[in-house]
Structure 1
């Protein structure tokens, strides 16, 4: 995969070596913390678009409102550039509102129906949306909003401080994000990257530190989100490091996340959600390390059934009803070579793995191999007999289910679960079993080492389970036969 990315980036770079350059200073741009240069920078972009040129942003500080990116241009920041978004909403253009929250119509960069757009940054330059200026505003501009575009590349860009989502791609094909840094913690809804109905996406050697979901795949359109490859990334998020959903209408297919580190995701780390009829299949997480994270893996097949035919706000109440689309499918998911030192939420304790489908609608064929997790231990929770509500249509968030009856893993409505060489260790006391299986079938558990601190509990509790096999299970480092 890396060879393919390298060759593609080399090819795209070669196209720009002899391209005509357009310096924004030649079009009246002012180096200033206050004076707006939107029209001048846009003029340089428009001229470069005519010949497939390079827009040069030289050393200096600049302020701009909405810029419209065009086909066959390269936007190149030289060393020492600070490109700020305006702090006035009046300087941002109105563009159509997306179907999912946040419902904001303004952004700093916008492109629709374009192709061959390249953003080249520099380690000593940045694009800064000044999102901290919009904390109490009725409108909080996104930073990049790119729709129905093809061949979009970000290279070595430092992108920070959006008013809401930082980088939003909708129905795009062939996106390359390489050696970029995304910092987005100055506001709420500060996602890192969102890909809705996109295909053929490569995110490599990139660092994200964000307030909300970091790498978020969505499906609110009729086009499936597929062929997504994330490699050698470092991700910090107060919420999910990687998330599919919550918009999950059409589906997600062929996603690989490899050789990456996730940290400080205290509200859930990996979240794979199919609640609006999506087909979620063929997903691999491999060679992943987590630190200071909670809810390490959350799989949810639900029945919200939203069609996203119009812009709609999220609903978080418990008494919501399905909206009509049929239940989707979730299958063929592999977690391999995963290590984690978990430190989840305390109130409620949210630190275990959770897989939950629906009665009659099963999560299918999940493999966990070479997985080693260290858990905090929450002492006397009194939760080992907790009954977990189905909440089929509620917004899919693990913490909404309350304290799980197991400290390590809770699996319900699952078929074809395979676990091999899995370790659950406790750093403190916990009165719950390691694993609870409810309505789990045709599954196997091999070569596992599970800590158990609860004196009166079985290490694995099963209910309504059939054709489940246990082999070579250790409890507190001693072999134990599990019936």
Structure 2
């Protein structure tokens, strides 16, 4: 499929279920729901596409039970694409309007238009690459397994984002378990995000406590072997230190989406239930003063931080560690090199 434009598309612009050896190239989609849904597919190439999807997902990989059995979506490349969340129809008419506001109580952050693996995730996702893409006036990237599938071997590289409406990345392993009874909880491992540049990211205008990168497994089920490198993020900021002590709910069986959490204790990146974490060459800044630490780690094991430059306020912290083991940090601005075998509650 190539060289076409789609306006609204009736429901989803493209819904491919159980399709192998699929190529989508140079497609312009201006959607009022999901733009591309790739479900239970293998050997997929998506390139040079421009997508506008203000009220639902832009590029969405799924692995549902639509075929009557669990089948992974695997061997997928996504490259040289642009994802937006401007008003309906304003991509194809060239106006890129931002007049839409959803004033419904509890509205889902108003603007969507993101790249997502999930939420339907019975079969899992394997061998996925996303590279050389631009996100603007939209959400960022979600990597989710909620229904028992395995997420393995995912590479996100060379991504630029501006005006991000919730979080630059959301990695989630939980247990919604929409599927056959008795299915075990899934796994999420060997994920790499590198060369990510983000400017102006944050939650709703009245919710400055949102916006951080979020990486969360659940107790007993850990996200494993995660690498974050060469990342630069400018957050909107604006939260007070009171956000540090607010409970971060587990939401184990709920639909996984950043809006389910109304507050984050870190302005930068929040990690929970992670094993095997490598973070290097990361720069974090905020546009408006923020009293939260850059990083919070909770139930994280075997974590290494290297060459970190994180802005902090005069009386703010850099890190909060809770129930952390085998932690090390080197060449971090304002932090001494250290190795910690165990940290029940450590702040610095």
Tell me if TM exceeds 0.5: yes
Aligned to 1:217: 61
Aligned to 1:183: 30
Gaps of 5+ in 2: 86-110, 341-348
Give, in whole Å, the separation in 2 of the partners of 1:178 and 1:219.
Answer: 22
Matched, 1:296 2:135: no
Aligned to 2:19: 172
Give, in whole Å, the separation in 2 of the partners of 1:162 and 1:454.
Answer: 51
Runs of 4+ that moved beyond 6 A: none
Asked whether the 8 Å contact 1:423–1:449 carries over to 2, the reply is: yes
Give, in whole Å, the separation in 1 of the partners of 2:325 and 2:199.
Answer: 32
RMSD (Å), alpha carbons? 1.5
Aligned equivalent of 2:125, options 246, 252, 271: 252
Measure how far apart 1:342 and its partner are. Answer: 2.8
Q: Find the residue that maps to 2:333 and give its secondary structure.
A: strand
The count of corresponding residues between Structure 1 and Structure 2 is 306
Alignment of 1:35-434 (within 5 A): 154-185=1-32, 190-211=33-54, 212-221=56-65, 222-237=70-85, 238-265=111-138, 268-293=139-164, 294-307=166-179, 324-346=182-204, 347-349=206-208, 350-380=210-240, 382-434=242-294
Give, in whole Å, the separation in 2 of the partners of 1:280 and 1:304.
Answer: 15
Measure how far apart 1:371 and its partner are. Answer: 0.5
Asked whether the 8 Å contact 2:53–2:113 carries over to 1, the reply is: no
Counterparts in 2 of 1:192 and 1:282: CA distance versus 1, 3 Å: same
Alignment of 1:425-464 (within 5 A): 425-453=285-313, 455=315, 457-464=316-323
Asked whether the 8 Å contact 1:348–1:399 carries over to 2, the reply is: no
1:312-340 deviations in Å (ceiling 9; x for gaps): xxxxxxxxxxx642110000000111100
Give, in whole Å, the separation in 1 of the partners of 2:337 and 2:244.
Answer: 21
Q: Find the residue that maps to 2:147 and give its secondary structure.
A: coil
Q: Which has the higher helix share?
A: 1
Q: Which has the higher strand share?
A: 2
Q: Find the residue that maps to 2:246 and give its secondary structure.
A: coil
Aligned to 2:102: none
Gaps of 5+ in 1: 1-153, 310-322
Q: Find the residue that maps to 1:399 and give its secondary structure.
A: helix
TM-score calculated relative to the size of structure 2: 0.85
1:363-417 deviations in Å (ceiling 9; x for gaps): 0011011001011111426201112111100110112122100100100000111
Q: Find the residue that maps to 1:376 and give its secondary structure.
A: strand
Between the two structures, name the one with larger relative contact order (CA 8 Å, sep ≥ 6): 2
TM-score calculated relative to the size of structure 1: 0.62
Give, in whole Å, the separation in 1 of the partners of 2:215 and 2:268.
Answer: 12
Give, in whole Å, the separation in 1 of the partners of 2:133 and 2:263.
Answer: 29
Asked whether the 8 Å contact 2:202–2:237 carries over to 1, the reply is: no
Asked whether the 8 Å contact 1:305–1:324 carries over to 2, the reply is: no
Give, in whole Å, the separation in 1 of the partners of 2:62 and 2:241.
Answer: 35
